[in-house]
Amino acid sequence: MKKIIIAGFLAAIIIAVFISPFASKHPDGLEKVAEDKGFLQKGEGKELFNAPVPDYSMPGIKHETIAGSIAGATGVILVFALAYGIGFCVKSKGRKVERSKKKLT
């Protein structure tokens, strides 16, 4: 089990750090439709707050690719921690045995 956790985590980090610089810079489906149909401006300046790492680019780092890669790695770690944490809290309400019992029947 440990192996797959490490392998899976590394795969996510590799995708976020080394493959993300090659991602297409074109607008996504919704953005493109908003542009074509003329409602893109409805979202401009409407953000409720300024996120710490806007647009997957770590602020304060001049090199664009590196800023993106660091942002990606940060996101992978945060998402992993939050999802793991939610799972840990939810399951720890004490049903350790139940699932393995179910499998036997």
Partner 1 sequence: MHIPDGFLDTKTWVALTAVSGTAIAVSLKQTGKTLGEKQVPVMGITAAFIFAAQMINFPVAGGTSGHFMGGVLAAILLGPYTALLVMATVLIIQCLIFQDGGVTALGANIFNMGIIGAFGGYFIFSVLRKFLKNDKGFFVSAFAAAWLSIVIAAAACSLELSISGTVPLKTSLIAMTGVHALIGIGEGLITVAVLSFIKKTRPDLLES
Using CB under 8 A, list all residues that contact partner 1.
Answer: 1, 4-5, 8-9, 11-13, 15-16, 19-20, 22-30, 32-34, 36-37, 39, 42-56, 71-72, 74-84, 86-88, 90-91, 93, 95-96, 98-100, 103
Burial environment of residue 80 by CB neighbours within 10 A (0 to 12, 13 to 18, 19 or more): middle
In the complex, the smallest distance separating the C-beta of residue 64 from partner 1, rounded to whole angstroms, is 14
Return d(Cα 10, Cα 33) in angstroms, integer: 35
Across the chain, which distance is largest between two alpha carbons, in Å? 58
Instruction: Tell me whether residue 37 or residue 63 sits nearer to partner 1 (CB atom).
Output: 37
Handedness of CA 62, 64, 67, 70 (dihedral sign): negative
In the complex, the smallest distance separating the C-beta of residue 65 from partner 1, rounded to whole angstroms, is 13
Instruction: Tell me whether residue 52 or residue 62 sits nearer to partner 1 (CB atom).
Output: 52
In the complex, the smallest distance separating the C-beta of residue 68 from partner 1, rounded to whole angstroms, is 8
Alpha carbon 33 to chain centroid, angstroms: 24
In the complex, the smallest distance separating the C-beta of residue 63 from partner 1, rounded to whole angstroms, is 17
Handedness of CA 97, 82, 72, 67 (dihedral sign): negative
